Chain A
Amino acid sequence: SYVVTQTPSVSVAPGKTARITCGGNNIGSKSVHWYQQKAGQAPVVVIYYDSDRPSGIPERFSGSNSGNTATLTISRVEAGDEADYYCQVWDSSTAHWVFGGGTKLTVL
């Protein structure tokens, strides 16, 4: 089955740029979706299909996907962006939804 891996934690100062990565074998050939989960809440999608942003998600959130790495970029980080972020793909070979292990974003 397909495996996606994430760095467990990322720290960034307010106003700076955070980059959260999601690795997988030739992940660039798949569509990657990103969720934000704040403490005690359900996940919310912030990027879908590699780089599309749902309505209501700030333009500071962007995504890219190529080769073996997908990246969620958060520009001008704010304290309210502190959360766990998960990448997700759909594995067509098993018909399973696959999540990365999550990255905890800490705003210093």
Chain B
Amino acid sequence: EVQLVESGGGLIQPGGSLRLSCAASGFTVNSNYMSWVRQAPGKGLEWVSVIYSGGSTYYADSVKGRFTISRDNSKNTLYLQMNSLRAEDTAVYYCARDRADGTQHYWYFDLWGRGTLVTVSS
């Protein structure tokens, strides 16, 4: 079955660090553009970061310099290392796959995980 399963969320104090994981099955993470998208409680969707199949990475301005996206090809898993966490980082974090057919990319998300909740609070 093609799916994404996030883990690693929890309660963390401001200034702390947390690493989220997203395990993929049914397809290969390193052949796709994989993103993290977050949603603060009661708020809209916010794109956070992407890692391209070639390894290039991009970040939203709100997290640049604090978050790092990476992947482990042997585990077929995507990660988000979050440092210097702030209250405003509190959100459900989704991993999502950009649709692709071979080398053709479509720039929208065709597969989402169920999300993992990160709460930054003292």
Residues of chain B contacted by A21 (CB below 8 angstroms): none
**Which residue from A42, A84, A98, A102 sits with its C-beta under 8 Å from B47?**
A98
- A-side interface size class: 20 to 34
CB interface residues, A 48-70, toward B, < 8 Å: 48-49, 54
Which of the listed residues A84, A88, A96, A101 has the most CB atoms from chain B within 10 Å of its own CB?
A: A96
Residues of chain B contacted by A84 (CB below 8 angstroms): 44
Given A96-B58, A96-B60, A97-B35, residue A45 in contact with residue B46 (CB < 8 A): no
Residues of chain A contacted by B109 (CB below 8 angstroms): 35, 43, 45, 88, 97
Can you sample 7 A-B contacts with CB below 8 Å? A43-B45, A44-B112, A48-B99, A54-B110, A88-B45, A99-B45, A102-B44
The smallest beta-carbon distance between A9 and chain B, in angstroms, is 13
Bitwise interface map of B from 101 to 117 toward A, beta carbon under 8 Å scored 1, else 0 = 00000111110111100
